[in-house]
Amino acid sequence: MKTVLIFGAGSIGNHLAYACRNKGWAVTMFDISSQALKRTREEIYPQRYGEWDSNIQLTQSKKDCWKKKYDLVIIGTPPDTHLPVAMEVLQNSPPQIMLIEKPLCPPDLDKCNELLSLAAQTGTRLLVGYNHTLTKHTQKAGLLLKEKKIGKPLYLYAAFREHWEGIFKAHPWLDGPQDSYLGYSSRGGGAGGEHSHALNIWQHFAHLMGMGRIKEVAAMMDMVTFETGAYDRVFQVNVRTEKGLIGHIVQDVITRPPKKMLALQGEDGFLEWYVNYNEGADALRYGHGGTVEELLFPKTRPDDFKGEIDHIEDLLTKQTVESPISIERGLETMLVLAAAHLSHRTKKVIRIDYEAGYSAEALVE
Ligand SMILES: NC(=O)c1ccc[n+]([C@@H]2O[C@H](COP(=O)([O-])OP(=O)(O)OC[C@H]3O[C@@H](n4cnc5c(N)ncnc54)[C@H](O)[C@@H]3O)[C@@H](O)[C@H]2O)c1
């Protein structure tokens, strides 16, 4: 039986605990807050999944966490704690695989290179939680694109536009964005950080089409400033890849009902990808040679994480499997997020120099 240690008994911690328990894995959850652990046992888990699972161990003792070596460690804490917690895990009890939630870190990219070298020393494989790259409809989209019926890709658009009222409903102890990382772009919040699934899925489809990494970024954002901080309410970027594919990515925390989609236009056809196309289904629309097919993929919220945990199970047994949630992909997303903030501030197109490593030095004005 695989063993899993989850840092952060909040919203994502519970989603992933449930997905791991469905595999029959032994799950321990650690949180710095006793209230969070109580809420997990008495509210979040039973309300979402019917009843509390007493096989899940809850702990507030870090010492206990280091006593054992886990197969999988999941970091489901706020973005500005991801790297410090991940490095502490690598120093004390490195697992075979560590899944760090998105966004990997704040846009200052501080300590990304240090994380990579520590992981290389310990042999831990690092992943970043962009789960939408592993849902059924994304996998099917990958197979359809292999048919090459839409021809040369000309333009790619991605949007994760969702009012964040849902997040605040799920966290009623927060009075508003100022009460957590969500209200601070510099801590990994704002639309850019919180909905960075759009940046990542754009990059995923560009890779599926063999169009390379994003190398140029031009951004314009709508910032909200308040006494203690600032966040981007609307985040939008124009981008160009190494192989010349251009496109646009928009993320916001104001749109209701939400729109989460991607559209790829090719010379001979198109592919559209939707999350929650209707209540209870993701979807694809695929058009070429005068025909348009609409494919529905019925799902529940737990299914959003099932593909990710199935994939991690594969990685735990077959170490060579390629991964769309690799640390390199998560870092590519972080570089574009960081470039976007710099572009917005300087009103310049920012070039990403991948040879310079994963730090602010890779962003060239
Ligand atoms: N992939 C997805 O679809 C998805 C969905 C939700 C959240 N997330 C991501 O997961 C992360 C957490 O979001 P959330 O909504 O679960 O937040 P949350 O506030 O519900 O939970 C975070 C928990 O981490 C705990 N915590 C804080 N610092 C800690 C530390 N140093 N060690 C251990 N525990 C600590 C807090 O007490 C809290 O219980 C964010 O990066 C968010 O973007 C991803």
To the nearest 10°, report the CA torsion of 35, 126, 301, 34.
0
Give the pLDDT of residue 248: 98
C-alpha–C-alpha distance, residues 203 and 336, integer Å: 10
Name all domains of the chain by residue range, CATH numbers in brackets: 3-101 (3.40.50.720), 132-364 (3.30.360.10)
141 Cα distance to chain centroid: 19
Burial (CB count <10 Å: 0-12, 13-18, 19+), residue 341? buried
Nearest atom in ligand 1 to the alpha carbon of residue 9 is 39
Q: Which atom of ligand 1 is nearest to the CA of 180?
A: 19
Residue 79 Cβ < 6 Å to ligand 1: yes
Residue 319, pLDDT above cutoff 80: no
Does 129 contact ligand 1 (Cβ within 6 A)? yes
Atom of ligand 1 nearest to the CA of 36: 39
Residue 319 burial (CB count, 10 A) = 10
Joined together, the tokens standing for residue 341 give 């903030």
Q: How many CB atoms lie within 10 A of CB 364?
A: 15
Please answer whether residues 350 and 343 qualify as being in contact, where contact means their C-beta atoms are separated by less than 8 angstroms: yes
Residue 320 is predicted with a pLDDT of: 79
DSSP code of residue 326: B
pLDDT (tens digit, 9 = 90+) per residue, 130-181?
A: 999 999 999 999 999 999 999 999 999 999 999 999 999 989 989 999 999 9
Tokens linked to 161: 């536009």
Q: What is the DSSP string of 161-228?
A: E--THHHHHH-TT--SGGGSGGG-GGGT-HHHHHTTHHHHHHHHHHHHTT---EEEEEEEEEEEEETT
| pLDDT range class, residue 24, cuts 50, 70, 90 | very high
Tell me, what's the pLDDT at 3?
Answer: 98
**Arithmetic mean of pLDDT over the chain:** 97
CA of 11 to the centre of ligand 1 (A): 6
pLDDT at 362 over 90: yes
**Which string of DSSP letters, residue by residue, matches 147-160?**
TTTT-SEEEEEEEE
Atom of ligand 1 nearest to the CA of 8: 24
- Separation of 55 CA from ligand 1 center, angstroms? 22
Q: What is the pLDDT of residues 180-225, one digit of tens each?
A: 999 999 999 999 999 999 999 999 999 999 999 999 999 999 999 9
